[in-house]
Structure formats: structure tokens, C-alpha cells
Structure 1
Amino acid sequence: MTAAQFLNNRFKITFIITLLLSIFSSQGIAKTFIHDVKGYTLNEKGELITFSNFAFDGDLITGMNLSEKPSKESYTYIDGKGQVVLPGLIDAHGHILGLGQNLLEIDLRGAASEEEAVKRVQSFVSAQPVSNAKHKWLIGRGWNQVLWPSKAFPQKHSLDKVIKDRPVVLARVDGHAVWVNSVALELAGIDANTPSPSGGEIVKDENGQPTGLLIDNAEYLVTKLIPSPDESQLTEQLNAASQHLLSLGITSVHDAGISKQVYDFYKSQADKKALQFRIYAMLSATDPKIDQMLAAGHIKSDDDMLSIRSVKAYGDGALGSRGAALIEPYSDDKDNHGLLVTPQEELPILFSKVLASGFQLNFHAIGDRANRLALQQFASTFKNVPDNTKRHRIEHAQVVAVEDIPLFKELDVIPSMQPTHATSDMNMAEDRIGKQRLKGAYAWRTFLAQGSRIAFGSDFPVELANAFHGLHAAVTRQSGENVPNDGWIPEEKVTLQEALRGFTLDAAYSAFQEDSLGTLEAGKRADFIFIDRDIFTIPGQEIRGTEVLQTWINGKQVYQK
């Protein structure tokens, strides 16, 4: 090879390397400037800020409201065409794979009667025939007897008439009760002689026979028999949930209770860069391998797509199924105080184990007794584990004794609440607990007035995952039909700025992520959405109908309507 040939080849190699680096640089570190938008965000103090343009370099925001436009040679320009931009929405309490499963299986939400629910089961079976169907499980969710004319809980007989050879398990909308057929009961060995487990109830008729309704811990007698999904099924569920959530502008979800199987699955997905939105996952305190997961310590991916540093524990059931644990009996069931899913005597060990491991504890408590026990246990455990006393959460904080509400602020316990629970429950809450106890129920304004930071979410698939439904409910205290006129318990309404904070900055704060997520500021992740209306200038009743036009995560567009 001559010197000229050598130099020529060297030049070609250098040119190719330079070209490749340029391509990789433009793809991986794309500088983007979006202008002509009507933007709203909060600052670190929670104050509302407006902006007309912003820039980001790769996955991080570099500037807001730039007075001098950057060079078009260095930046990709995007014309926002005057559309409204918000930070990506964070749902602080959902069940991701449950949503995916719900999207793929029998949907009973909105069924107007037990008969209609059964017809939906029939239609699902007809549309999805399978070979060797005997003992292949039929799973569904979403029924709510409160909406039915009879108000009565469903029974196995209506299912038995149409499904004779396959076990059927249909979860109530809140997940705290299941309606099953006789095949499922037989497979579980449940009969008249089977006692109800601690923290649960096998509902029986006047003859002592199981009706097909299993409440709270009794569900497990049947659900433990359902084959665990394999990785391909988990992937299918995650993909279904991802597409749905991104279309709603949700860029991050706090997944409220995952098993060891899902823990491993999420880590694998994060390692492969396959997660489509951010997941802040809570370990399920009841998982047999909880100690192993705690010993592994906190999990955090470099791109902030996966964070695992919290535990979801279970205090009681739900109000609709009369499983929420109350200090005084139910107003419409004088012998019933509800259920403690985790026995009171086990709380000290549970709290100490989680806090001593350096994890956040997020405790499910709906009834006033469950909330009081949780607050008392936090106070007691903090004395023994003084290095981990900040930002623990009570999930739902739904019915709280008025005198206990100040303890949330005193103990720095975050109320993680779901606005649409109030508007879904308003048709039965007073029947369950009476007017007096409603003074501490769904008490968002009271919490904010004392300085508590509320993490807002939806609890999907219990409720629909649409955060604009939650914003609407928080501001109006009205149903989807905008009733009642002034809102239910209107003194507990919040402003739209406060509601948006609950679905952005304070949701991020409740996950120790406020330095990178929750607002649009220089140095934070470029997670944002375009929506079809200015929610700050329209009547509150119109917020619910908001549609998402685009969703961006880490500076990349991941959804377009």
C-alpha cells in the first residue's frame, strides 16, 4: 500500500466515524425547541407558571420561556400552533397489570344489573371460544351492585345457569369482593362447613350455603388457584396498559402492590429499555418473598423509568363491600365494623421491618379505624426507627376521624387519595357511615388547609384511568353528569391549581422524585403533554372531556391522537 493509498483510506475511515458519531449524536441527544404554546406548569413552590416556549436537549429540559430563540442549525423546531401544554400527569395509585388484564378480559363496568353482567360473561365466552375449555378460568372485573335496582350482591346461581364447566371469578369494581360460580367454589373446596378466614368473609345464605360472594381475604381461597400469567401474558398486559395510559397523558404510575414475579418482570423490562412509561412500584407486603426483595435494596434505572423503594401494606377492605374497618358500626349494618385485612397485632412487626429496611411504607386504609391504627403505628415505629420517618403514605385515607386528620401533618404522612372515589361513592357513602362521619371523609380541602401534600391518583382499574376525570372530580365534586349542582360536600373542593399539583408535583414528591419529575423546569425530565383545551379558562364541568393530543416522555413523542 502506498502512502497516498494509506492516507486516502485513513481519511475515509475518519469520515465514516465522524458521520456515524453525528448520526448517533443527532438521534440520542436531539436538541428540540417547541414554540407557540400555551403552557402551564408549577414551580418548586407549587406556584402556577405560564410559558410560551421551551427547549430540551435529549431527555432533559434546558430552558423555559426563552427570550432569544436558539439556532435552527442546532435545534429541531416544532410549532406548537397555540396548543395547551402541561407536565406529564402522574397517577399516584394504580394497578398497571390489573388494568392490562382488565382491558383484555371480561369488563363488567357499568353493567346495570346482575342479569346484564351475566350476559356480558356469555358474550365474552361466545366471542373467544377455546379448545378443552373445561376448568379454564374466566376472569372479569367491574360489577357494582350499588348501581343495580335491587342493590343486592350477586349470587352463584345466575352464573351457574350459563357457565357449567368453567370456573368464573368476577371482581367487584373496587377489587375487595369476588363473585364466583359453583365450579370455582368446588375447585377451592368451599362448602357450608368452610369457615371464613381472618380478615375475610365467605358470604352464606340462610341455609348456610356459600352464595358465591367472597369478601377481602376470602377471595384468596379461590384466586390462589388461578394459574399465574407467564412472561408473554405479562408483556401483553403491560403493552395494553401502556397504550391506554399514554393515550391519557399519563407518563408515570405508582403501581400499588407488586409480587416477586412482577418485580422480576419489571426489572427485566427496564434492563431492556422496554418500559413505555415510568413506574414507581410498591412491593406487596403479603408476597412470600418480601424479605428477599427488601434485602435487595432500592431499585432505580438510569433513565428514571423504574423505581422500587416502597412497600404496599393492606389495612382493611372497601366501603362499598362494607369491608372498610370502622371505629363504630356501619350505619346500614349495625353489627358490622368491617374487616382488618392485616391483624392489628401484626402491625408492629410489619412496620418495623419495612422502615428498618429503608423503604417507604404505603398503607392501604379506607375506614377510620384502619386510618387510626396506621397513624398510631407510624408514630410508635418512628420512635424505634428514627432514621426513616419521612414521606410514608396512607393510601386512600378515605374516611378519617376528624380528630385524627392533624396527625397526618404532625407525622409527615402523605394522604394518597383518589378524587373519583368521592364522586363514585357519593351514592352510598352516607348510607354506610352517616352524615357525621362524612366530615372526615374525602376531605381534600381539610388536608390541604393544614399543610398536607396530597398525592392524587385514580386507583385504576377500580376507577377509569383518565386523570382529567380526577381533576374534574377534585374541582367540582360532581359525577360525570355534573351532579349535584354545587358538588357533593362542596366545602372540600380544591382549586384546579391544587388538583394539578396533586397529579404532578406532589405525586412526584410522594415518590421522592420531585427533583426530576412533576414540573417543567430546566434540569428536569422532558415529560409533557399537549391537550385539546385550556383547562384553566373553561368551566370546571368541561375539564372531564379533555383529550390528549400528544404525550412525550424523556423528550420523545410516545403518543399522538
Structure 2
Amino acid sequence: MPDPVAETILHNGVIRTMDEANPVAEALAVAGGKVVKVGNWTEVQTLRGEETNLIDLGGRMLMPGLIDFHVHLLSSMIARLHTTALDTADDFDAILHKIGAACTRGGGRDWVVANSYGALALRRMREPGALAALDAVSGGQPVVLQHLSGHGHFANSAALQIAGINAATPNPPDGEIVKDASGQPTGLLVESGAWAVTAAIPDLSAAGKAEAARASIAYLNSLGITGFADAAASLEMLEFYRTLDDAGALTCWAAFHLALSPTCSNYSADEAQSMRERRRELCGPHMNADFAKIFLDGVPSLRTAAMLAPYASAPDEAPVATSLTLDELTVAIADFDRDGIGVKVHAVGDRAIRMVLDAVEKVRCRNGRGGPQHQIAHGQFIAVVDIPRLAELNVLHDMCPPLWHPNSASRTHEAMVGTERYATVWPVRDILASGAAVVAASDWRTIAPDLDPWEAMCGLVTRRDPTGRHEGAHAPDQAVSVAEVLPLYTTNPAAAMRLGHRTGRLAPGLSADMIMLDRDLMTIDPLAIAQTKVLATWFEGRLVHGGI
């Protein structure tokens, strides 16, 4: 069959295709939403017709659209649009000032939800008087503050009362309602200890959520992202993005890790089973929900990540309990595995990471080695001896959020575990050298209010803070090259989403998902990667952001 006449030809550029068979080209032709030819101008211009749209790239770089494999997309956009913004560097007094300004005086009933606070504010929240101080500025209005990790909250007395939390309320499984010496709640809620409060926050209207879903896709496209995987998806979320897909407005490939496990949702067993059985019928043509999520531990900043050795900041503290035992985790993964569902397990501490690998090893023995790829989310504290097991067991390392360079959050983690142990985290070069499947992702909206893949890439290449606010480099021997980083945002996540045959590369027959940048990432100073601007984004050959 002869090649079709091109609808669009992009030429006079540096086209980095991520296709090993043809890594660099100067021209590319698109027809029917797909790439039909890649090569030099002489080769590609043969597909030019009378109505072909010619786009002169002006020597700029064109590459496949990025894929963010770990993002909390809808909830993060809702937070961006409808909550009070805090800076993770804010101290508690600064937060009180912002909350006071946001609250309606005189006992208003509307909730104020704010995020995200960091280590500086958390220290004050652990001290006596913090709850009274928040109550004093909120005028009886319920207030909830969220930690940057999403694993901790601080609520005022009005919010605690509405949620039914008092001195008699026991700690829920895998969580803590922090109490003072007299047994009264202090307002600090850890892990599932916050669920009663977050469940009490009035829900945004369906129209508001639909608008947030639409805005979230436009936001991704503006950053050069043409694919995403939501890390803890609900039935409602699928419905909103399905509506966009049916309308031709889902200009991203979308994967959803369903929150089917009791470790990450309050679904009843019947509700979870129904969503699992209906997962494919709920998806549109650009959606895939053959994934599930399990939480196994927490985060270092709250000392809830399950570590092999005690925390340097609390050497006498009892070891953190994981949300599931090894046997329970094995049974859960094996059940999903038999149904072709890949499981993303939140595991930060080295003990939790080892437990995931032990569980998957047992699953491979029970179900056979032909089951789906499973994933360790975060995994920064992986022990050296466990690195080879990732490839051996077909376990993907989902690296996020971008804490592989100095920033306020990584400094907090270092203070919790100690400098010596922190020097070994994020061994990216060693993991890549092991042959493991690896992706890099944002985990938006943890650690930062804005999603910025270019700063994250810069940090992987330099191991330095791209903003310059924090000095030094974290484990510079684990830095990787730009050529090694780009697959972590393109071909690797496409394969992990089971879409490697459709996107992630610019090659004939694949979707024309591509971005034009203001610089060539392969030739600039690596520190300049952080300032990269996306000039245009195409999804299935259609311009969805920017222009020439």
C-alpha cells in the first residue's frame, strides 16, 4: 500500500524520535493522527500534497510527548483551583496569617482546606498550643491543613468536632490521632488518622469536578505531557475522564490505578469488586484501568516509612508497622495478578520495598512468571542487595516525587534517617545498570504546587537543585545522562501503560504525540534543562497547546 498524502509535515528541525532504529531525523510526516514517515527532507517531502500543512521547526527540537506515570491528577487540579495555597517553607505563623485571611469571621460554615505545609510548620504542630492558635484565627470555621506528602493533616477543633474525633476516638488501623498528655486530640492526624476529617469535607459539585478534569488535561498539555497514569483512581474519576474521551477532549493517553485495596480507600468489598469487574467498560478508547494501588507504608518525614534500621531522629521508637503482613500482601497481589491487573505498591522504606519484592517472588512461584508487571512506587530507600531483584521479578521502579536532588523535602528526609543512610537513597544509576524497568514521575501534587518535569529531569542529570535554593549535590555518582533520562519520561512509561505499540516514540504507525521545545536537551548545559519551555504540543497529530 502506498504511503498516504501527509496532512502535516514538520521539517528543518532536530527530531529526537526515541526510536532506536532511527534516533534522529530532520522531518516527519503525519496523516490520520499517526506518524507515517520519519527521515530527511528529501524522503519525507515525497508525501507532500496540495493541502499539506508545512511546519518549519526553525532548527528546534521535536520529541515524543512526555508521560507522567504517577500523578494524582483530578484531586491535584481540584486543590489547585479550590484550596488555599501554602508554601512548604512556611512556618506556622505564616500559615496562621494565610488561614486567618481565608476564613470568614463569625463562625462561617464553609470549610477552608489548605496545602501544603512542610517540616518547619510540622515541628510547631507537634508542640502544645498549636491547635489553640489555629482555632484563634479561624473564627469557628472548620480548617484542614495538608502535609506536602499527603500522609498527614492538621485540623482545627471545628473540623475535629464535625468529624466526630474526640478524646474517646481510638486510632484507626494504620493511622494515628495524635493526643496530648491529657488525652485530647492535638489536631495532628497521621495517615488514616485523617480519613474521618477528609471524608467530612463537603464534596465539590459534579460540575466543579468536570471543569477540574478538563483543566487538568489542558495543564498537562501545556507542560508537554500527552500521557498520564493516575496513582489512586476512583470510579467517579473514570466517569469524568470518560466523558472527556467521548467528547474528543481527552488529549492524553490515560491509565488508572484503581483504589481497590482497603489500604487506600473506603470502598466496601462489593463496591471494589463491582469497579474491578466494570473497569474496562468504564474506559474510553484512550483509557486503561488494568491497574490497582496498594499502600504498604508511609513517608520518612512523618516517620511512617517502614525501615530496616531505626530512624536516626528517633532511635528508640518502635518499628513502623506495614499496612499489610507479607502473607496478606502476597494474597492481594496474587489475586490481582491472576486477573491481569498490574499492582502499584506504595513502598518507601527499605523494609517495605523488600516486602514487596518478597511478595512478588511468591506470586511468580504461585501464578507463573507470565503475569503482569507490578510496580514499586517511590522506592528511594531500596537496599543495594535488592536492586537486582527488580529485573528478575519484572517489577517496575516508579521513581517519584523528584527528591533526587537537594530541596526542602529531601532535607527533611535526611534529618529523619541520618546523613549516612540518606547518602544511599535514589541510586538511579545503579538501578538502570541492573536492567530494571524504570520510570520517573511527579507524584503531583506532593512536594510542590506546580508540576514541572523539566526541573525533575535536570535534577536527575545534575543531582543539584535546579532552582539554586539548596546548595550541594546529592550522591552525584548516581547522576545519569540526558540520553538515559528521556526514556524514563517517554518509552518506558508508554510500555508500563501497555501502550508501547501506540505511543512513546515517533515512528511510522504510532500516534503523532509530540512536543516542540525551545532548546535541544542533548546539546545544552544540563543545568539549563530546568528552564525548558514547551512551544507546541500535538496529540494524535492535533495541535493541543501553543503553536509555531
> Residue 150 and residue 293 in structure 1: after superposition, are their counterparts in 2 closer, same or farther (change >3 A)?
closer
CA distance in 2, matches of 1:37, 1:495: 22
Q: Any unmatched runs of 5+ in structure 1?
A: 1-25
CA distance in 2, matches of 1:439, 1:403: 16
Q: Give 1:359 shift.
A: 0.7
> Residue 478 and residue 358 in structure 1: after superposition, are their counterparts in 2 closer, same or farther (change >3 A)?
same
Match of 2:94 in 1: 116
Q: Give 1:141 shift.
A: 1.5
> Residue 234 and residue 483 in structure 1: after superposition, are their counterparts in 2 closer, same or farther (change >3 A)?
closer
Q: Does the CA contact (< 8 Å) of 2:103 and 2:139 recur in 1?
A: no
Q: Give 1:339 shift.
A: 4.6
Q: Does the CA contact (< 8 Å) of 2:61 and 2:518 recur in 1?
A: yes
Is 1:314 matched up with 2:320?
no
Q: Give 1:329 shift.
A: 1.7
CA distance in 2, matches of 1:96, 1:408: 27
Match of 1:465 in 2: 451
Match of 2:64 in 1: 87
CA distance in 2, matches of 1:432, 1:238: 36
The correspondence of residues 150-549 of structure 1 with structure 2, limited to 5 A, is 155-286=130-261, 287-288=267-268, 289-296=271-278, 298=280, 303=285, 305-334=286-315, 335-386=317-368, 388-418=370-400, 420-423=402-405, 424=407, 425-438=409-422, 440-462=424-446, 463=448, 464-482=450-468, 487-549=473-535
Secondary structure of the structure 2 residue equivalent to 1:324: coil
> Residue 485 and residue 184 in structure 1: after superposition, are their counterparts in 2 closer, same or farther (change >3 A)?
closer
Match of 1:21 in 2: none
Structure 2 residue identity aligned to 1:320: S
Q: Deviations over 1:281-314 (max 9, x none)?
A: 11012333221122235469675x2121100111
Is 1:55 matched up with 2:23?
no
> Residue 149 and residue 346 in structure 1: after superposition, are their counterparts in 2 closer, same or farther (change >3 A)?
closer
Secondary structure of the structure 2 residue equivalent to 1:52: strand
Structure 1 residue identity aligned to 2:456: G
Q: Deviations over 1:35-67 (max 9, x none)?
A: 11122231158xx82221101102100011143
Q: Does the CA contact (< 8 Å) of 2:35 and 2:506 recur in 1?
A: yes
Paired residues, number: 527
Q: Give 1:437 shift.
A: 3.4
Q: Any unmatched runs of 5+ in structure 2?
A: 262-266
Q: Does the CA contact (< 8 Å) of 1:358 and 1:388 recur in 2?
A: no
CA distance in 2, matches of 1:167, 1:485: 39
Q: Give 1:277 shift.
A: 2.3
Q: Deviations over 1:96-124 (max 9, x none)?
A: 01221121121113442112122223334
Match of 2:18 in 1: 42
Q: Does the CA contact (< 8 Å) of 2:213 and 2:241 recur in 1?
A: no
Q: Does the CA contact (< 8 Å) of 1:88 and 1:250 recur in 2?
A: yes
Give the alignment's TM-score, normalised by structure 1.
0.88
Q: Give 1:86 shift.
A: 1.7
Structure 2 residue identity aligned to 1:321: L
Q: Does the CA contact (< 8 Å) of 2:256 and 2:289 recur in 1?
A: yes
Larger Rg: 1
Secondary structure of the structure 1 residue equivalent to 2:138: coil
Q: Give 1:519 shift.
A: 1.2
Structure 2 residue identity aligned to 1:477: R
CA distance in 1, matches of 2:23, 2:132: 58
Q: Does the CA contact (< 8 Å) of 1:258 and 1:281 recur in 2?
A: yes
Q: Deviations over 1:317-375 (max 9, x none)?
A: 11112111112221101204335234555323321221122111111111111111111
> Residue 244 and residue 265 in structure 1: after superposition, are their counterparts in 2 closer, same or farther (change >3 A)?
closer
Secondary structure of the structure 1 residue equivalent to 2:403: helix
Q: Deviations over 1:512-539 (max 9, x none)?
A: 1111111111111111111112221111
Question: How much identity, in percent, do the aligned residues show?
Answer: 28
CA distance in 2, matches of 1:264, 1:549: 31
Give the alignment's TM-score, normalised by structure 2.
0.90
Structure 2 residue identity aligned to 1:269: L
CA distance in 1, matches of 2:499, 2:190: 36
Secondary structure of the structure 1 residue equivalent to 2:459: helix
Alpha-carbon RMSD: 2.6
- Which of 522-531 and 149-158 deviates more? 149-158
CA distance in 2, matches of 1:223, 1:93: 22
> Residue 452 and residue 300 in structure 1: after superposition, are their counterparts in 2 closer, same or farther (change >3 A)?
farther
> Residue 285 and residue 312 in structure 1: after superposition, are their counterparts in 2 closer, same or farther (change >3 A)?
same
Match of 2:74 in 1: 97
Structure 2 residue identity aligned to 1:448: L
CA distance in 2, matches of 1:549, 1:415: 30
Q: Does the CA contact (< 8 Å) of 1:352 and 1:385 recur in 2?
A: yes
Q: Does the CA contact (< 8 Å) of 1:100 and 1:236 recur in 2?
A: no
